[in-house]
Amino acid sequence: MSVLTTNYLTPSGREEAWRFTPLKRLRGLHDGSVVVDQRHSLTTKSALPAEVSFTREALSPLATSDDVIIERIRGEATDVAHLHIAADAQIKEAIFLTRLGGGVDSAELSRVRISLGSHAVATVIVENIGDTILAEDLEISLAPGSSLTFVSLQEFDAKSVYTARHHAVVDKDATFKSITVTVGGDVVRILPTVEFIAPGACAELLGVYFATTGQFFEHRMHVDHAVPHAKSRVNFKGALAGKDAHTVWIGDVLIRAVAEGTDTYELNRNLLLTDGARADSVPNLEIETGEIVGAGHASTTGRFDDEQLFYLMSRGITVENARRLVVRGFFSEIINEIGNEEVQERLMARIDGELEKAGA
């Protein structure tokens, strides 16, 4: 155990990046007052195929960061949990990485790297469960022609605090698809960010979140189109139920002057299931060249559709079951993209449970 001593600029809450986040509930991750325990909680769930390795090693960061917590992690955590998928490997079964919570008396600062060699294809599912205080610097590198489906599951218990950046660096003709699911924790703040470094690359950032009474979930995307002919799609869906449930979705997409032929669209939809919850949704598209294929964004926040509920109930379905069907239906578009029945059904059951708990 150690107490952080290095001085970093502590956010005050007035900064754009921090203006929504309840700093007081971050347990000192942002100001360094947290007690750190390097517990290396990330493990593989089952034996790995021959083309896949999982090691701890010293690695330099892939990309710089302007996030104070990421800087703190890099100052403290020297070795990196590194999952590598060899070039040309075609891994059909999903690779599971699991984090069991280490409790909330101390925090884990963790660096993770997922790297794919050229033309490798894989699905990696990271499960975060239990109670923990975790700050994570997760970097993903996709070599030319590789394809990764990255599933990040926040299934924490109620006290957890999780702040992370999931940063993907996507090389030529590589395809990155991420599915971020946040259904548990006290405070969860994830920065899914993408950096294209060569043309022909494609990134699809999908996500769902469901915040109930008192929970704060923030997802702050940043997609940097710094090269021509890259494609990005963002689609996050959220539901909120119960007093002081609060979600934040920020979709920053930057199309730089050199990024001709960019094709991007981002979408955020929120479903407010009860009064007293708050969903912030801020799409932000910055376009420095007009020579693009397309760029757009949409954001909607609505309530239960009375007509849908009436239709279902007119067939004998109770109001509770009708709501459950509508919420499941709302999320299924994204959840079904995970492509693993067991995980999908577990998440849907969790969503049912959250809905029931919130009494929506």
Partner 1 sequence: MSTLEIRGLQVSVDTENGAVEILKGVDLTINSGETHAIMGPNGSGKSTLAYSIAGHPRYTITGGSVTLDGADVLDMTVDERAKAGLFLAMQYPVEVPGVSVSNFLRTAATALRGEAPKLRTWVAEVKEAMEALNMDPAFATRNVNEGFSGGEKKRHEIMQLELLKPKMAILDETDSGLDVDALRIVSEGVNRAKANNNLGVLLITHYTRILKYIKPDFVHVFANGHIVEEGGPDLADKLEANGYADYVSK
Nearer to partner 1, 13 or 339 (CB): 339
User: In terms of residues, how long is the chain?
Assistant: 360
Q: Select from 325, 337, 340, 350 the one that contacts partner 1 (CB under 8 A).
A: 325
Q: Select from 1, 7, 314, 341 the one that contacts partner 1 (CB under 8 A).
A: 314
Q: Select from 330, 338, 347, 358 the one that contacts partner 1 (CB under 8 A).
A: 330
Q: Write the burial class of residue 12 (CB in 10 Å: 0-12 exposed, 13-18 middle, 19+ buried).
A: exposed
Nearer to partner 1, 105 or 333 (CB): 333
How many angstroms separate the Cα of 269 from the Cα of each of 170, 235, 246? 26, 8, 14
Residue 64 binding partner 1, by CB under 8 A: no
Residue 18 gets the label, from left (phi > 0), alpha (psi -120 to 50) or beta, of alpha
Among the listed residues 252, 251, 258, the one whose alpha carbon sits nearest the alpha carbon of residue 230: 258
Residue 326 binding partner 1, by CB under 8 A: yes
Supply the minimum distance, in Å, between the C-beta of residue 137 and partner 1. Answer: 34
What is the rounded distance in angstroms from the CA atom of residue 143 to the CA atom of residue 45? 25
The DSSP bridge partners found for residue 153 are 127, 181
Nearer to partner 1, 18 or 330 (CB): 330
Supply the minimum distance, in Å, between the C-beta of residue 318 and partner 1. Answer: 5
Supply the minimum distance, in Å, between the C-beta of residue 323 and partner 1. Answer: 12
Q: What is the DSSP string of 194-243?
A: EEE-STT-EEEEEEEEEE-TT-EEEEEEEEEE-SSS-EEEEEEEEEE-ST
Residue 300 binding partner 1, by CB under 8 A: no
Nearer to partner 1, 6 or 314 (CB): 314
Supply the minimum distance, in Å, between the C-beta of residue 264 and partner 1. Answer: 24
What is the rounded distance in angstroms from the CA atom of residue 196 to the CA atom of residue 230? 7
Break the chain down into helix, strand, coil percent, rounded to 5.
Answer: 15, 50, 35
Among the listed residues 216, 218, 185, 210, the one whose alpha carbon sits nearest the alpha carbon of residue 354: 210
Among the listed residues 223, 183, 219, the one whose alpha carbon sits nearest the alpha carbon of residue 203: 223
Q: Select from 8, 285, 313, 337 the one that contacts partner 1 (CB under 8 A).
A: 313
Residue 255 binding partner 1, by CB under 8 A: no
Nearer to partner 1, 12 or 311 (CB): 311
Nearer to partner 1, 118 or 308 (CB): 308
Nearer to partner 1, 291 or 320 (CB): 320
Q: Select from 35, 267, 285, 317 the one that contacts partner 1 (CB under 8 A).
A: 317
Say how many residues touch partner 1, by CB under 8 A: 24
Supply the minimum distance, in Å, between the C-beta of residue 41 and partner 1. Answer: 34
Supply the minimum distance, in Å, between the C-beta of residue 281 and partner 1. Answer: 19
The DSSP bridge partners found for residue 83 are 54, 114
Site string for partner 1, 205-224 (x = CB under 8 A): --------------------
Supply the minimum distance, in Å, between the C-beta of residue 305 and partner 1. Answer: 8
By DSSP bridging, strand 202-211 and strand 231-240 are parallel
Supply the minimum distance, in Å, between the C-beta of residue 251 and partner 1. Answer: 21
Residues at the site binding partner 1, with contacts judged by CB under 8 A: 305-308, 310-319, 321-322, 325-326, 328-333
